[in-house]
Amino acid sequence: MEQSLAEKFYYFMKLGRVFELRAKEEYMKGNIGGFLHLAIGEEAVHVGATIAFDKGDIFVHYRDHVYALAKGIDPKYLMAELFGKKTGISKGKGGSMHFYEPSLNFYGGNAIVGAHIPHSVGMAYARKFKGENTGVLVAFGDGATNAGNFYESLNLASLWKLPVLFLCENNYYAIGTRIDRASAITDIYLKAKPYMLSKQIDGMDIFEVYKAVKEAKEYIQEESKPYFIEAITYRYEPHSMSDTGNYRSVRELEIAKSKDPIEKLKKSGLLSENYINYIDNLVEKEIEEAVEFAKNSPEPEEIELYTDVFCEVCKNVLP
Amino acid sequence: MFYREALNLAIDEMMEIDESVVILGEDVGFYGGNYKVTEGLYAKYGEKRVIDTPIAENSIVGIAIGMALGGLRPIAEIMTANFAMLAMDQIVNNMAKLRYMSGGKIVLPMVVRMPQGVVKQLASQHSQSLESLFAGIPGLRVFTASDCITAYHGLKTAIKLDDPVVFLEHTLLYFEKFDLPKDSFYNPFKARVLKEGKDLTIFSYLKMVHDVLKVVDKIESTLNVSVEVIDVGPLNPLDLETLTNSVKKTKRFVIVEENPKHGGFGAQIVSSILEECFYNLDAPPLRIAGEDVPIPYNRKLELLSIPTPEKIYLKIVEWGKQNGL
């Protein structure tokens, strides 16, 4: 069991990393525009949580690539979205920060910090209303926990006893401002303690993330109550491609990289060298194909400018 | 029937036929609604479907978005449009755009209802008209309810639609009585010709419709003309066809709007009509609008800040005389 999990973890973390490194390269070449927020270094949280949460509904922030991959969305459609192509997961209308696939219970991809937290609470209300208890996971950064959306949502999830798992990725920086310069409480899990069960975990260890999320998922389903996890993690890249990242020291980055989740998993002894080589080759090939697919995909047709604004069959509802 | 009762009836009927329709907001449940729009619904449908929320407008709309994603058809009540400012991120950046940004994958069948307008001595944080803010956001349908017909049929349509709708009511209309012919054909996507005429058209919406109707006879007899009165109805998408057809016929038009003139929604109406039928006009358009000031508390100053039936009459007569009527 542990070995097959480890293999799954390795595949998705590696897929996420290669996808993002390649996205960075394509961005530099001008094939990808706008904002691009990379999650390199944070794969253990994104992959471990998504796999542990299984079929439940997931809401994430603008750093959404690795979550979407771990949720099972084909990298081709994600890369095509970054390229702004018609075949993109959001038809080229959303870009990096707006991946959605409701058929896989994946609801974005939200580019306003913390705006999706109340959405997750509303979703949990709707699911409970309909007698479905798969639970809802919402991921956000430490920066989001200083805003009203966060507290309003904790309050209601607790008051209404909703099965929501709040997952905070504490990577110590809200864009370029270090946590102790923006937040009076730096152990984020303490902010949630008065409302619900709340804990802090090592977000660089995928087994710890997986175990914590799995336990939390069982709890929220059985008790119909919210739960809070703060995962301590780190992003190696700056906030986005337009950020120089000069607010962090070389030493700090070195320390962070020494805890790399992919390297850590490799050293666990659970994966054979053959498997690692096999996956490394497979993933390179998959991402290469995704880039080829994105490059060769057509631009959206001009008519697409006007579609998806309103429902096109609304004439049916005339009284 | 009271206007608030027409709204209540629309919600009640929709909740009756569709289990997924829920209403949430401040005081909507146990308390019965601040303007009694949700009166009786809590007792009838229970706290699971008539949901009291804290005073946290951002979450009211944000949670409604999540509910819509989860297969419910939420109606979010914002006590007044003034407080919707706290929910603008959810309304503008999320409710209006999730469908488009997801390439049509996300569908949000939801309504955010709120009253707006200048009330009576509530001062500027509780008295204002904000329709141009909502109507300027692509992806949001904006309906206005001027009477029981538009309130009842319009709200029912808004609830049934798969699009996100901002449904604007007027605070001073809640306790006004209007007829509600249930079988009358009404298309909520169209403007309504309330009175036909051939010499000039007056456009208005929400409470101003009634202020116009109060003086239309007097305008007709003073100027010896026949006036067409149109309730603009939906502000986004605007029913430009009905508006321009009327102007092509009457060749003169007036907008009566309660919001401040600068950036007011009437500017959009004038612009849209002029682009279509500038050469049909025999007179420059006239806008009768609110003054460009926050609404004062003092009643005399408050009445000076907005159109009143008397001002509407005087300004139209003066304009009519200057323009060959």
* A67 DSSP 8-state letter: H
What is the distance between the alpha carbons of residues B302 and B311, in angstroms, rounded to a whole number? 14
What is the distance between the alpha carbons of residues B86 and B242, in angstroms, rounded to a whole number? 34
The region that residue A30 occupies, defined by phi over 0 for left and psi between -120 and 50 for alpha, beta otherwise, is: left
Residue with tokens 């305008």: B219
- Whether residue B237 has a cis bond before it, omega within 30° of 0: yes
Residues 268..287 of A with a Cβ closer than 8 Å to B: which?
Answer: none
A262 Cβ contact list (under 8 Å, min separation 6): A10, A13, A14, A17, A43
The single residue of B39, B126, B196, B220 carrying the catalytic annotation is B126
The answer, yes or no, to whether residue A237 has pLDDT greater than 80, is: yes
3-class SS shares of chain A: helix, strand, coil, % to 5: 50, 10, 40
Residues 92..131 of A with a Cβ closer than 8 Å to B: which?
Answer: 92-94, 98, 100-102, 107-112, 115, 117-127, 129-130
Does the CB of A29 have a partner CB in chain B at under 8 Å?
no
Give me the percent of chain A exceeding a pLDDT of 70: 97
Q: How many Cβ atoms are within 10 Å of A2's Cβ, its own excluded?
A: 9
Q: What is the DSSP string of B148-187?
A: HHHHHHHHHHHHH-SS-EEEEEEGGGTT-B----TTS---
Catalytic-residue membership of B170: no
Q: Mean pLDDT in chain A?
A: 95
Half-sphere exposure of A90 (CA within 13 A, CB side): 27
What residue of A is the nearest CA neighbor of B91?
A115
Q: Which amino acid would we find at residue A58?
A: I
Determine the pLDDT at residue A272.
96
A222 Cβ contact list (under 8 Å, min separation 6): none
The region that residue B104 occupies, defined by phi over 0 for left and psi between -120 and 50 for alpha, beta otherwise, is: left
Q: In the numeric block, which tokens belong to residue A46?
A: 């994104």
Determine the pLDDT at residue A313.
61
Residue with tokens 């419709």: B209
Determine the pLDDT at residue A319.
45
Catalytic-residue membership of B210: no
The single residue of B26, B57, B257, B302 carrying the catalytic annotation is B57
Contacts A–B by Cβ distance under 8 A: 153
Question: Is B69 close to A102, i.e. CB distance below 8 A?
Answer: yes
3-state secondary structure of B10: helix
A260: nearest Cα among A210, A203, A207, A212: A203
Going B244 to B249 to B251 to B257, the CA torsion angle's sign is negative
What is the distance between the alpha carbons of residues B132 and A236, in angstroms, rounded to a whole number? 44
Q: How many Cβ atoms are within 10 Å of B299's Cβ, its own excluded?
A: 10
What residue of B is the nearest CA neighbor of A149?
B59
Q: How many Cβ atoms are within 10 Å of B170's Cβ, its own excluded?
A: 26
Residues 237..276 of B with a Cβ closer than 8 Å to A: which?
Answer: 237
Residues 111..140 of B with a Cβ closer than 8 Å to A: which?
Answer: 138-139
Q: Which amino acid would we find at residue B72?
A: L
Determine the pLDDT at residue A3.
87
Determine the pLDDT at residue A133.
83
Q: In the numeric block, which tokens belong to residue B149?
A: 């017909």
Phi, psi (rounded to 5 degrees) for A302: -60, -35
Contacts of B90 in chain A (CB under 8 A): 115, 118
Question: Is A102 close to B103, i.e. CB distance below 8 A?
Answer: no
Question: Is B157 close to A318, i.e. CB distance below 8 A?
Answer: yes
Task: Convert the pLDDT of each residue in A41-93 to its tens digit.
Answer: 999 999 999 999 999 999 999 999 999 999 999 999 999 999 999 999 999 99
What's this model's pTM, rounded to 2 decimal places? 0.96
* b/e B287-298 (16+ beta carbons within 10 angstroms → b): bbbbeeeebbee
Asked whether A163 and A221 are in contact (CB, 8 A), the reply is: yes
Helix (H) or strand (E) holding B114: strand B111-116
3-state secondary structure of B252: coil
Asked whether A141 and A61 are in contact (CB, 8 A), the reply is: yes
Asked whether B98 and B59 are in contact (CB, 8 A), the reply is: no
The answer, yes or no, to whether residue A1 has pLDDT greater than 90, is: no
Does the CB of A305 have a partner CB in chain B at under 8 Å?
no
Q: In the numeric block, which tokens belong to residue B150?
A: 């538009």
State which fold the A1-306 domain adopts.
Rossmann fold (3.40.50)
Q: How many Cβ atoms are within 10 Å of A194's Cβ, its own excluded?
A: 10
Does the CB of A89 have a partner CB in chain B at under 8 Å?
yes
Task: Convert the pLDDT of each residue in A276-308 to its tens digit.
Answer: 999 999 999 999 999 999 999 999 999 999 999
The answer, yes or no, to whether residue A316 has pLDDT greater than 50, is: no
What is the distance between the alpha carbons of residues A314 and B137, in angstroms, rounded to a whole number? 19
Does the CB of A87 have a partner CB in chain B at under 8 Å?
no
Q: By mean pLDDT, which of A209-218, A307-316, B283-292 is the weakest?
A: A307-316
Mean pLDDT by 10 residues, chain B (325 residues): 98 97 97 95 98 97 98 97 97 98 96 97 96 97 97 96 97 96 84 97 98 98 98 97 98 98 98 97 98 97 98 98 94
Contacts of B29 in chain A (CB under 8 A): none
A142 Cβ contact list (under 8 Å, min separation 6): A168, A169, A170, A171, A172, A173, A174, A179, A183, A188
Residue B143 or residue A134, greater confidence: B143
3-state secondary structure of A232: strand
